[in-house]
Amino acid sequence: MTSRERVLAAINHKETGQVAVDLSGHRSSGMSAIVYPKLRAALGLEPRPVYVYDPIQQLSIIDNDVLDRFGIDTIEMGRGFCLDDEWWADWTLPDGTPCKMPIWALPERDGAGWRLRSKQGPVLARMPEGALHFDQIHWPFFGVEEDLTKIPEALESSMWSVFGSPPGAAKLNAAERADGAKQLRKRTNRAIIGLFGGNLLELGQMLYRMDEFLVMLAGEPARAHRFLDALVEMHLQNLETFLGAVGPYIDVILFGDDLGAQNCPQISPRMYKEFFQPRHKMMWARAKELADVKVMLHCCGAVRPLLPLLIEAGLDAINPVQISSRGMEAEGLKRDFGADLCFWGGGCDTQRLLPEGRPEEIREHVLRQCAVMAPGGGFVFQQVHNIMANVPVENVIAMFDAVAEFNAAGA
């Protein structure tokens, strides 16, 4: 069974005897660029240049030798683009490690820190000295009367849109996107994940600011519906273009909407059902009409109360399964939703255990999570979120070696 077949079997709730494994298949399953060269050294692999594919979170591209060492079954579609040196510029990570940064997201010095500026001029994000990621500081619709015909222009002044991972701001046409995805598929038998986005709640928060958009949902529902209708119209047009180009060459399309906080959803099930479920359903159904893809939603936090509604909307897989949040314990999720939803994540706690635990604790934790989540399929192993800069490399190795141990026992 190839890696691609293993991932698709998992999403289809088929047991294969081997848990599928994701690392860096998307922007929330990656690894800090600070950790990555240390990991290569600990594995006895030759040093290689560090390429930062996610400038905001400062995540590294993971080379094939590391993916092979850990038995990784996934790859992000972006690995098929911006392969030439012209797309990269020299930079230095906060710990002094030299790296390559995408040319469209090269930070500028900003007093005691760094900033990311849009082509239009405004500074969109800042990273203070000592920090390890950028924070949004500009919201295009905050405090102004929005023009809903200009959402695309507003996104050109929004941090997450402007400074994305490859192909990012390369502004490739449909033929170039199709060719890059096609060539990647020829080079790998890993499952290819296409990052689409299609965010609803989050884009409202990115454009208006979180507090203002939540107040709008509660206090100005008609205005919120008008905004979301305009947003979905744009997303559906983009979906046609995106899948029209790369649909034949990807296996999973990734949408995003962080609906949860640490202890509860950001919004009630009633509010989700009114504002977001019909629109998610529309976009996810259209994606499946346009291409033979599985739909995954990146959705952090304590979202257990929303899972039945997400399943009704047509979701195939949810990520990252934040097991340290209230109500997100693996046993209950698997029991109550495992027949209908693939849990892409929840394999290792990244809030406390991965950065602070001992390798043996991590091994036991990972073996236990796999034992709970793997039966009946519907599970792709991923540490809950990105491997951050404070994670010891011996813990990273212990985590993936535990998955290999679990798979060897079941082979």
Token pair belonging to 349: 């706690």
Catalogue all structural domains in the chain, each as residue range(s) with its CATH number: 3-31+64-87+147-410 (3.20.20.210)
CA 238 to the chain's CA centroid:
19
- Separation of alpha carbons 302 and 34, rounded Å: 29
Q: Which residues contact 222 (CB under 8 A, 6 or more apart)?
A: none
Q: What is the 3-state secondary structure (H, E, C) of the chain?
A: CCHHHHHHHHHCCCCCCCCEECCCCCCCCCEECCHHHHHHHHCCCCCCCCEEEECCCCEECCCHHHHHHCCCCEEEHHHHCCCCHHHEEEEECCCCCEEEEEHHHCCEECCCEEEEECCCCCEEEEEECCCCCCEECCCCCCCCCCCHHHHHHHHCCCHHHHCCCCCHHHCCCHHHHHHHHHHHHHHCCCEEEEEEECCCHHHHHHHHCHHHHHHHHHHCHHHHHHHHHHHHHHHHHHHHHHHHHHHHHCCEEEEECCCECCCCECCCHHHHHHHHHHHHHHHHHHHHHHCCCEEEEECCCCCHHHHHHHHHCCCCEEECCCCCCCCCCHHHHHHHHCCCCEEECCCECCCCHHHHCCHHHHHHHHHHHHHHHCCCCCEEECECCCECCCCCHHHHHHHHHHHHHHHHHHC
The answer to whether the beta carbons of residues 131 and 388 sit under 8 Å apart is: no
- What pLDDT does 120 receive? 79
pLDDT for the residue 50: 98
On whether the pTM is more than 0.85, the answer is yes
- Length of the chain counted residue by residue: 411
Angle at CA of residue 9, ends 36 and 301, nearest 5°:
55
Tokens of 346: 């929840």
pLDDT of residue 352: 96
- Give Cβ neighbours of residue 112 (< 8 Å, ≥ 6 apart): 128, 129
Q: What is the pLDDT of residue 411?
A: 55
Residue type, 308: P
What is the C-alpha to C-alpha distance for residues 311 and 243, in angstroms, rounded to an integer?
22
Confidence (pLDDT) at 46: 97
Cis status, amide bond into 308, omega within 30 of 0? no
Question: Is the sign of the CA dihedral 231, 234, 240, 241 positive or negative?
Answer: negative
Local confidence pLDDT in tens for the 411 residues of the chain: 999 999 999 999 999 889 999 999 999 999 999 999 999 999 999 999 999 999 999 999 999 999 999 999 999 999 999 999 999 999 999 999 999 999 999 999 988 899 999 887 889 999 999 999 999 999 999 999 899 999 999 999 999 999 989 998 788 999 999 999 999 999 999 999 999 999 999 999 999 999 999 999 999 999 999 999 999 999 999 999 999 999 999 999 999 999 999 999 999 999 999 999 999 999 999 999 999 999 999 999 999 999 999 999 999 999 999 999 999 999 999 999 999 999 999 999 999 999 999 999 999 999 999 999 999 999 999 999 999 999 999 999 999 999 999 999 975
